[in-house]
Amino acid sequence: MARPVRFNITPKLADTKDSIGLVDMPDGYTGEGFFATKLNDVVGLARKNSMWPLPFATSCCGIEFMATMASHYDLARFGAERLGFSPRQCDLLMVMGTIAKKMGPILKNVYLQMAEPRWVMAVGACASSGGIFDTYSVLQGIDQVIPVDVYVPGCPPRPEAILDGFIKIQDLVGEESLRRRNSERYKELLGSYGIQ
């Protein structure tokens, strides 16, 4: 015997009139017919709103990613509409799912094939730390083979959480210095993973 419906009995139609999100202009000096700002800001703005992700979907988190890409939790709103499956063409490597120790070198190869600037997002518990699979065959976190920028916890994380992680990546991309990839500290970081 079903209980009577308590919520959402008279659903409200979404009011989409005038509700277009626009990206804020970076700080700069405006004049008649010109706008001067830092190259960093403009490049960051362009990059963050048109990220091309590479979905490295291995298991259940991949399904949550599919839900995130679908219309309800649209990832395309954030500019990540064009997913590439070739690392040569993508900037964001989203590792979603359990990575086995045998898969580690392959994942590293995929990362090496990406061109700078590149970011990595570890989606889910298994990619972040091995998850519930504390076993001899599962890599306990992809940060053992590649440097990771954002970790999204969850098993699996809800699509909203994946979007939150993506927004954090966008913040990182927008604020990143253009000289970062040539800096000593970055080179040391890559060196610690054995990547030249």
Partner 1 sequence: MTLSNQTIKAKLVEKFGDQVLNFEEPYGMLTFESPKDMNLKVMQFLFDDEQLRFQFLTDLTAVHYPDKKEKELAIVYHLHNLIDNVRIRFKVFASVDSPDIFTATKLFSAANWMERETYDFYGVNFVGHPNLKRILNVDEMNYFPMLKQYPLEDQTRIDKDDAMFGR
- Using an 8 Å Cβ cutoff, are 129 and 141 in contact? yes
What residue spans of the chain are helical by DSSP H?
39-48, 60-69, 104-113, 125-129, 159-175, 184-192
Asked if residue 140 binds partner 1 (CB under 8 A), the reply is: yes
Least Å from the CB of residue 106 to partner 1: 12
Nearer to partner 1, 62 or 130 (CB): 130
Least Å from the CB of residue 142 to partner 1: 14
Continuous segment of H or E residues that includes residue 136: none
Asked if residue 136 binds partner 1 (CB under 8 A), the reply is: yes
Beta 92-96 vs 119-123: how paired, if at all?
A: parallel
Instruction: Mark 68-107 with x for binding to partner 1 (rule: CB under 8 A) and - for no binding.
Output: ---------------------------------xx-----
Asked if residue 130 binds partner 1 (CB under 8 A), the reply is: yes
Asked if residue 138 binds partner 1 (CB under 8 A), the reply is: yes
Least Å from the CB of residue 71 to partner 1: 38
Asked if residue 135 binds partner 1 (CB under 8 A), the reply is: yes
Give the interface segment with partner 1, choosing from 2-10, 45-53, 76-84, 137-145 (CB under 8 A).
Answer: 137-145
Residue with tokens 């997002």: 121
At residue 117, what are phi and psi to the nearest 5 degrees? Answer: -80, 140
| DSSP 8-state class, residue 77 | G
Which residues does 103 contact at the CB level (< 8 Å), separation at least 6?
58, 139
* Residues contributing to the site for partner 1 (CB under 8 A): 101-102, 130, 134-138, 140
